[in-house]
Amino acid sequence: MFRPLAVAALATIAACGEPTPAYDVVYAKEWKFSVAGPVDGFALVVNTGKAPLSLASLTVKSVTDDHATATVRITASPGISSLAPGTAGGKLSGLADTLFAPMAPEPRGDASTSYLAIEVADAPPGTYDINAKATIRLDGVDATLPMLIHVVPGPTVYADPITAARLSLNR
């Protein structure tokens, strides 16, 4: 009685197949900030698929944060090129380049375009943390990037990535 249903379920699963890799994002997950910004050079896109990946569709869908007055803003600058399979793209700041190197060993297909920029607007003086979350979309696949931003007072200027993460996305 259950055998035909089980066979149909297995056939459906087999037809769907395994998830197909879309892309990875390597980004600054934790920050030390003493300036408003914007700061760019903090994200790489890695084409983990089997076909070239167009960067023209990169958008920021949403950004949320938990601070009452400060606002975290993340903006996208879509690339005009495509990344070949197995390559990474994105211009990085010196600190991000050093931090990301062990997480993104792929050859760089585009090192001149900074795809994302971050700023903290309306930040009151003081020392505090902001938890933020950005959702970006590339090639129809969403990626949610959680971040922790440690805001510190000046006069020393900080816009420094502290830790990085690599997020893998599938279709």
Residue 10: the pLDDT is 43
DSSP, collapsed to helix, strand or coil, labels residue 3 as helix
Domains of the chain from N-terminus onward: 19-170 (2.60.40.10)
pTM of the model: 0.86
The per-residue pLDDT string of the chain (171 residues; one tens digit each, 9 = 90 and over) reads 445 544 444 444 444 567 899 999 999 999 999 987 889 999 999 999 999 999 999 999 999 999 999 999 999 998 788 999 999 999 998 889 999 999 999 999 989 999 999 999 999 999 999 999 999 999 999 999 999 999 999 888 899 999 999 999 998
3-class secondary structure for 71-113? Answer: EEEEEECCCCCEECCCCEECCCCHHHHHHHCCCCCCCEEECCC
Burial of 156 (0-12, 13-18, 19+ CB in 10 A): exposed
User: Do residues 82 and 49 touch, judged by C-beta distance below 8 A?
Assistant: no
